[in-house]
Amino acid sequence: MEKYFIPLFLLFSLLSYSQDTTVVSGKVLNAANDVPINNAHIVNLNQVRGAVSDEEGNFEIQAVVNDTLYFSYLGFKAIKVRVTNDWFRFGEVKVKMTELGIALEEVVVQPVQLTGYLEIDARNIPIYENYRYSISGLNTGYEGGDHSPSALSRVLGAVFNPADALYNLFGRQGKNMRKLRKMKEDDEIRNLLMNKFDRQTLMALLQIDRLDIDEILRRCNYSQDFIETANDLQILDAMSGCYEEYRVLNRG
């Protein structure tokens, strides 16, 4: 019997490896005219991996059966597609996205009117009372709000207060919040988030809504300016840093 042990062991290893490295392919098209969509973003919500479609709309991404793929593109309605056995059986799948009709609102820019008198102009120029908050592992910092002495004290308070919003969000969404680290490690996802400001991909991955994201950032002492203007990658880094501090303090 021993002579069959090694071949069986190798067989199971190969099967396990092939399952972990399964790749699905497809083509992203405009539903209105079947024109390929270049640079559409595809994220595997289960395995936290990203991909981008090429000039012909083609894409490949690591996935297994029952994984959910999230497709997004500026000006188009984001959609979720479940990976099925048929996808592997028949090969490439065409994913059609519907264009959104967006009515642009008029934006009026009001410049600061200077009078030439220092005392008057000093009162008219807006002052943003924001602090800088440093993210661990990065060589830069982000603005933090002034409603709390520090993000650390806010997180520390949340650890010991079950009624705190941050305690509730991190505790209730602990499994999804652990995806933050995987998101930071995937270059495709980081590149995708760098040019996005709608929080849609973050909401889909973490299974929380926009209000929850804003609340987490406020409780972690980020300014309203940062919450409203930061790109999705900056938001990811901010939330990840705050969650990692929460985990360390919670273990303590």
Distance CA 248, CA 243 (A): 9
Per-residue confidence (pLDDT) for residue 26, from 0 to 100: 96
CB 37 within 8 A of CB 52: no
In single-letter form, the type of residue at position 48 comes to V
Q: Cα–chain-centroid distance for residue 240?
A: 10
Which pair of structure tokens corresponds to residue 184? 């930071």
Per-residue confidence (pLDDT) for residue 14, from 0 to 100: 44
Per-residue confidence (pLDDT) for residue 113, from 0 to 100: 66
Q: What is the DSSP letter of 99?
A: B
Which pair of structure tokens corresponds to residue 164? 């705190």
Sequential pLDDT tens for the chain (252 residues): 444 444 554 444 444 444 455 899 999 999 999 999 999 999 999 999 999 999 999 999 999 999 999 999 989 999 999 999 999 888 889 999 999 875 455 555 566 666 666 666 566 665 555 554 444 444 444 454 444 445 555 555 555 554 466 777 887 777 888 899 899 999 999 999 998 999 999 999 999 999 999 988 888 888 888 899 999 999 999 898 888 888 877 775
Q: Per DSSP, which regions of the chain are E strands?
A: 23-30, 41-44, 49-52, 58-62, 68-72, 79-82, 93-97, 131-134, 141-144
**Beta-strand relationship, 79-82 and 93-97:** unpaired
- State in Å, rounded, how far the first CA of the chain is from the last one: 51
Instruction: Give the CATH architecture of domain 18-97.
Output: Sandwich (2.60)
Per-residue confidence (pLDDT) for residue 218, from 0 to 100: 86
Give the burial class of 44: count Cβ atoms within 10 A of its Cβ; 0-12 exposed, 13-18 middle, 19 or more buried.
buried
**Sign of the alpha-carbon dihedral angle for 208, 78, 188, 50:** positive
DSSP code per residue over 78-125:
-EEEE--HHHHHH--EEEEEPBP--PPPP----PPPP-S-HHHHHHHS
Per-residue confidence (pLDDT) for residue 145, from 0 to 100: 44
Domain ranges across the chain: 18-97, 128-251
Per-residue confidence (pLDDT) for residue 178, from 0 to 100: 87
CB 68 within 8 A of CB 45: yes
